[in-house]
């Protein structure tokens, strides 16, 4: 049975969803969480929509069976492949998905040039292209797939020379203020926020959806009377389809602000 003390499940292809877990924990520290990183199937962003839908539905249903009171699909790629299907199948269940933060970026100034960094699957999906069409009258969008950045984050190699060189290579055409804003449309990417900002220019505005998703989860639970009213800090249980990655998940949860 689902109660106020039931956990919130947060799922991702690996380390990325930790950026969302951190925000959830910041605004709802007394909740209990299961963080499930699916590192054995990572990366999601270079697979087909059908593969990711199957993987995501199985993972989400596992969390529902374990009594999670909400499942946060803390992955833009998995959300674009499976959220609509899951919402249709379980219309009353409080799912939270992630989508690239195009709206605040588009409205951040007059006709901004907005660079959108995400996985190849997210950028080619209908969900993303519909969202982009809604704001095309407000901004110029440039789509930039960055699949290798997922691997650098997964391996904890964001601060290496190879990662810097990769980012310099793909961001070079937009460096030195050639864009006004950048959307980090993959939950792994806030871990690389610093080098991205350095290359694009310090005035470039950076947008990502983790706090929006955390607040949406809070609203959904509040509306159902399911917020945990305990005064004590909750428990976070870290799980991974690749056991050898659990310690890294814990370390990344504990590392600076993302
Ligand atoms: N973290 C995921 C996202 O937000 C994708 C990473 C992957 O390709 O596995 O899109």
Answering whether pTM is above 0.85, one says yes
* Cα 89 from chain centre: 22
Is the distance from the beta carbon of residue 187 to the nearest atom of ligand 1 less than 6 Å? yes
Query: One fold for both 8-98+210-253 and 102-207?
Result: yes
Atom of ligand 1 nearest to the CA of 43: 9
Residue nearest to atom 2 of ligand 1 (CA): 75
* Segments of the chain with pLDDT less than 70: none
Cα(186)–Cα(104) distance, integer angstroms = 16
Instruction: Out of 22, 39, 45, give the residue to mutate to test ligand 1, the one with the largest number of ligand atoms within 8 Å of its CB.
Output: 45
User: Ligand 1: distance of its center to the CA of 188 in Å?
Assistant: 6
Residues in the chain: 258
- Active-site annotation holds for 163: no
User: Of residues 163, 186, 217, 249, which has the active-site annotation?
Assistant: 186
Taking a C-beta distance cutoff of 8 angstroms, is the pair 172, 154 a contact? no
* Domain 102-207 architecture: 3-Layer(aba) Sandwich (3.40)
For residue 149, what pLDDT is reported? 98
Q: What is the pLDDT of residue 70?
A: 98
Ligand 1 center from residue 245 Cα (angstroms):
16
Q: What is the pLDDT of residue 221?
A: 98
76 close to ligand 1 (CB < 6 Angstrom): yes
Does the bond joining 43 to the residue before it have cis omega, within 30 degrees of 0? yes
For the Cβ of 39 lying below 6 angstroms from any atom of ligand 1, the answer is no
Residue 190 CB less than 6 A away from ligand 1: no
Known catalytic membership, residue 75: yes
Residue of the nearest CA to atom 8 in ligand 1? 45
pLDDT on residue 258? 80
Q: Residue 240: its pLDDT value, please?
A: 97
Atom of ligand 1 nearest to the CA of 75: 4
Q: Which CATH number does the domain 8-98+210-253 belong to among 3.40.50.1860, 3.90.1150.10, 3.30.200.20, 3.90.1170.50?
A: 3.40.50.1860
Write 127-130 long-range contacts (CB < 8 A, 24+): 127/79, 127/80, 127/83, 127/84, 127/99, 128/80, 128/99, 128/100, 128/185
Q: Is 79 in the pocket of ligand 1 (CB under 6 A)?
A: no
Spans of all domains in the chain: 8-98+210-253, 102-207
3-state DSSP assignment of residue 8: strand
Q: For ligand 1, say whether the CB of 191 is within 6 Å of any of its atoms.
A: no
Secondary structure of residue 173 in the 3-state scheme: helix
């Amino acid at each position: 049975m689902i109660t106020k003390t039931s956990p919130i499940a947060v799922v991702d292809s690996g380390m990325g969803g930790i950026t969302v877990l951190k925000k959830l924990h910041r605004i709802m520290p007394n909740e209990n969480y299961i963080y499930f990183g699916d590192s054995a199937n990572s990366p999601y962003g270079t697979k087909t929509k059908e593969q990711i839908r199957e993987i995501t539905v199985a993972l989400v249903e596992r969390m529902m069976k374990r009594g999670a009171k909400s499942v946060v699909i803390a992955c833009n790629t998995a959300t674009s492949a499976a959220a609509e299907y899951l919402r249709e199948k379980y219309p009353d269940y409080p799912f939270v998905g992630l989508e690239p933060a195009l709206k605040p970026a588009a409205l951040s100034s007059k006709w901004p040039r907005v660079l959108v960094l995400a996985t190849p699957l997210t950028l080619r999906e209908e969900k993303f292209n519909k969202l982009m069409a809604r704001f095309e009258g407000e901004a110029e969008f440039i789509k930039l797939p960055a699949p290798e950045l997922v691997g650098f984050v997964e391996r904890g190699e964001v601060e290496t020379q190879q990662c810097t060189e990769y980012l310099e290579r793909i961001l070079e055409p937009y460096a030195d203020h050639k864009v006004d804003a950048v959307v980090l449309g993959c939950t792994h990417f806030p871990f690389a926020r610093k080098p991205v900002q350095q290359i694009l220019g310090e005035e470039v505005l950076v947008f990502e959806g983790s706090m929006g998703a955390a607040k949406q989860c809070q609203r959904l639970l509040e509306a159902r009377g399911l917020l945990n009213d305990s005064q004590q800090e909750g428990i976070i249980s870290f799980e991974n389809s690749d056991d050898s990655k659990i310690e890294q998940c814990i370390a990344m949860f504990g590392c600076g602000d993302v």
